Amino acid sequence: MLVKFLNKISQRYASQWLVLLFDICVIIATFFLAYLIRFNFKLDFEFSVLLKQVPYVAVVAAVSLVAVGSYKGVVRFTGFKDILNIIIGTNILATLLICCTFLSRKFIDGNSIFDISGSIIYIHLLLNILFLTGAKLFIKSLYNQVTQDINTTSNVLIFGAGNSGMLTYDAIQNDTKNGFKVVGFIDDNEGKIGKKINLVKVFKIDKIDNNFIKKHDVEDVIISIQNIDPSRLLQITGSLFSLGLKVKIVPPVQNWIDGDLSVGQIKEVKIEDLLGRDPINIKNPDLEDQYDNKVVLVTGAAGSIGSEIARKVTLYNYKKLILIDNAESALYDIQQEFRQLGLTNIDAIVADVRNKTRIDQIFNTYKPKIVFHAAAYKHVPLMENNPFEAVSVNIGGTKNVADIAVKHSVDKFVLISTDKAVNPTNVMGATKRIAELYVTCLKGKGHTKFITTRFGNVLGSNGSVIPLFKKQIDKGGPLTVTHKDITRYFMTIPEACQLVLEAAAMGNGGEIFVFDMGEPIKIFNLATNMIILSGLRYPEDIDIKITGLRPGEKIYEELLADGENTKKTYHEKIMIAKSRHIDIDSTENQINTLTSVNSLTQPLEIVSAIKALIPEYISNNSTYEVLDSQK
């Protein structure tokens, strides 16, 4: 019953007028005390005069406090600004009393209730600041103590004893329902070690061991360092996870709501926080002009990249958004997502990019001005066994949409490519490279500007390694890695789609945009980090099994092909690949011949034609290696 009562009381707030009355009562009490201090705690003054002055002081106090609005603050959340308001309000009170005293002495003869000794006024001022501030902070502390007693609390450490750490501490202290109690800070700065901040001690990370955790009953660590080096973050989280602690992270200050941090924004560390590089951010005001009142069409709109591109386009003042995909269920899902957001100027169309007549009909109906071509087959092992499908979609589908874009005078056509197109070792990568070559051949053949974006693996995309590892962890392992030294470049889906939209804005036609994605990440390390993020241990709880390279799989991947180098753009993370010269007529003829093959054509024959087009395509761990030996 007591707990329920305290919970009920804790959810109610005192009336503003009750707070004002309380403050006035404190001011009256300090007025009495100011008199006592002035006369050395002896009653050597006219008590009747003091009693007559009390109503006058109360009225002036009310005017002063109402002027600054100090009574509007919620006492349990008293902070620096509230204390500043009290100081300003009490100074206004003292100033008004001094002014009235001066006027009283000048214009009113004899004793007056307005005539108060200057020494009493200044003593009263200091007492008001002390007692009003102290009373508010005492009530706040008492409230926090009571609510912490009735709520389940989790002892936490804050990593970072700087400004961000202090703001995190204040956010936790002010939000008593968060269930956190700060028992210490951790910091790398030797000068802070052993000192106390807000009566909370600062520790070195080396001191955080099992004995420390048991002694202080610590469950969580909140990392509150702005612009922390990703490699250092990885090192810290690895150390803390190994102790069985949960690790949370404070978001960048630009993501704080209205510039203030709330406890609800503190989230558990995610795998994208451990990429080993700084997140890529692009802010280009010109993007608004690019998509203003434009009809935008996205192929492969139900996929991970296509759907995120569509989401980002909806942030602009587009005229119409056309979503094309042949995956009916996934397309329905993205359509419903947009409808629930109240977006009505979006049409979802089930169509196959291989059907040229159908695609032409859609372009003729909607007349798009910007096209994002994300439709493609992307799974390396599947395409290695089905080269006809890879050719028909990745090359034939691209050719259809690109040709129709030229026919209907689309302004910009953005091809979504991959780093697997660089010096390909598999069918999928080779077909994507041919798609790049085809749009390059179309440069200058019409109004349309063709732009290619090439990036590495996308975290969390359909069929990628992250969802696979999550499923394997849920089943108790083991996690499967094809080679202990295999590395990949990674980026998040939002980063990838930021690049695509930026490329569409800066491209003038014919460019292949590549990203500075930092250092490649070892998949084996990614697997161990995901095990640790799940609160488990490697190899005690979940093991990692090396399965061997799959057909067509590389150990390392590149972003530039042989004979390519880069030139800079206005964004430090975006570069343009300088491609080698190609014979456009010969390349177009070969691509036309390749896309005319039918499903009865033998895989070796199809792959042989691909290799003729892409001399750098050398198969790896594949049945098609025999074709390389014949060169």
**Is the model's pLDDT at 205 over the cut of 60?**
yes
Judged by DSSP in three states, 149 sits in: helix
Phi-psi category of 194—alpha, beta or left, where left has phi over 0 and alpha has psi -120 to 50? left
Higher pLDDT, 489 or 339: 339
User: Is the pLDDT reported for residue 609 higher than 50?
Assistant: yes
Residue 399 is predicted with a pLDDT of 97
283 part of the active site: no
User: Among candidates 173, 184, 182, 181, which has minimal Cα distance to 262?
Assistant: 173
Asked whether the beta carbons of 575 and 569 are under 8 A apart, the reply is yes
Question: Among 45-54, 93-102, 106-115, 468-477, whose mean pLDDT is lowest?
Answer: 106-115
pLDDT tier at 2 (50, 70, 90 boundaries)?
very low
Encoded amino acid at 290, one letter? Q
Helix H or strand E encompassing 360: helix 356-366
Higher pLDDT, 431 or 7: 431
The model's pLDDT over 383-413, given as tens digits with 9 standing for 90+, comes to 999 999 999 999 999 999 999 999 999 999 9
Phi/psi class of residue 196: alpha, beta or left (left: φ > 0; alpha: ψ in -120 to 50)? beta
Q: Which residue has the higher pLDDT, 109 or 108?
A: 108
Q: How far apart are the first and last CA of the chain?
A: 86
The domains spanning 152-269 and 290-456+491-516+559-625 adopt the same CATH topology: yes
Taking CA atoms, 249 is separated from 109, 271, 345, 495, in Å, by 68, 12, 38, 20
Most confident of 54-58, 141-145, 295-299: 295-299
Averaged confidence pLDDT in the chain:
84
% residues pLDDT > 90 (the chain): 32
The predicted structure's pLDDT at residue 6: 42
Q: Does position 74 have pLDDT exceeding 80, yes or no?
A: no
Minimum mean pLDDT among 139-148, 294-303, 539-548, 600-609: which range?
A: 139-148
The two tokens of residue 378 are: 């992307």
pLDDT at residue 410, rounded to an integer: 96
User: What is the value of pTM for the model shown?
Assistant: 0.65
CB 316 within 8 A of CB 537: no
Phi-psi region at 160: left, alpha or beta (left = phi > 0; alpha = psi -120 to 50): left
> What whole-number distance in Å separates Cα of residue 596 and Cα of residue 593?
5
Query: Phi then psi for 523, rounded to 5 degrees?
Result: -65, -35
Sort residue 3 into left (φ over 0), alpha (ψ -120 to 50) or beta. alpha
Q: Give residue-wise pLDDT tens across range 230-289.
A: 667 777 887 887 787 888 888 766 556 555 676 767 777 776 666 655 566 656 667 778
**Which residues are CB-contacts of 110 (< 8 A; sequence separation ≥ 6)?**
none
- For the ranges 175-184, 210-219, 500-509, the maximum mean pLDDT occurs at 210-219
Looking from the CA of 3 toward its CB, the CA atoms found within 13 Å total 5
pLDDT at residue 509 greater than cutoff 90: no
Does the CA dihedral 459-461-464-467 come out positive or negative? positive
Mean pLDDT of 556-585: 71
Residues 516 and 572 sit within 8 Å (Cβ to Cβ): yes
Q: What is the reported pLDDT for 188?
A: 87
Contact 555, 549 (CB under 8 A): yes
Distance CA 241, CA 531 (A): 10
Buried b (16+ CB within 10 A) or exposed e, 200-225: bebbebeebeeeebeeeebebbbbbb
* Domain covering 152-269, topology: Rossmann fold (3.40.50)
Nearest CA among 476, 487, 489, 488 for reference residue 538: 476
Q: Which one from 136, 420, 554, 573 is the annotated catalytic residue? A: 420
Dist CA 279 CA 260 (whole Å): 22
What is the residue-wise DSSP string for 245-301? -EEEEPPPGGGSBTTB--GGG-EE--GGGGSSSPPP----THHHHHHTT-EEEEETT
CA atoms within 13 A on the CB side of 86: 27
Whether pLDDT at 370 is above 80: yes
The closest alpha carbon to 159, from 239, 77, 260, 254, belongs to 239
* Cβ atoms 488, 457 nearer than 8 A: yes
Model confidence band, residue 111 (pLDDT cutoffs 50, 70, 90)? low
Q: Are 221 and 212 in contact (CB under 8 A)?
A: no
DSSP notation for 320-359: EEEEEES-HHHHHHHHHHHHHTT--SEEEEE--TT-HHHH
Stretch 550-579: mean pLDDT: 70
Task: Look at the chain and count its residues.
Answer: 631
CB 247 within 8 A of CB 237: yes
Q: Which of 207-216, 288-297, 517-526 comes out lowest in average pLDDT?
A: 517-526
Give CA torsion, residues 499, 502, 506, 509, to 10 deg. 60
Query: In the predicted model, is pLDDT for residue 564 greater than 70?
Result: no
Query: Does pLDDT of 177 surpass 80?
Result: no
User: What are the extents of the domains in the chain?
Assistant: 2-148, 152-269, 290-456+491-516+559-625
pLDDT of residue 441: 92
Task: Please list the alpha-helical segments (H only) found in 372-457.
Answer: 380-385, 387-390, 398-407, 427-441
Q: Supply the pLDDT for residue 5.
A: 45
Could you tell me what percent of the chain has a pLDDT over 70? Answer: 85
pLDDT at 538 over 70: yes
- When mean pLDDT is compared over 65-69, 110-114, 273-277, 343-347, the highest value belongs to 343-347
Pairing of strands 218-223, 154-159: parallel
User: For residue 272, with 0-12 CB atoms within 10 Å meaning exposed, 13-18 middle and 19 or more buried, which class applies?
Assistant: middle
Q: Which fold has domain 290-456+491-516+559-625?
A: Rossmann fold (3.40.50)
Quickly count helices (H) and strands (E) in the chain. 22, 22
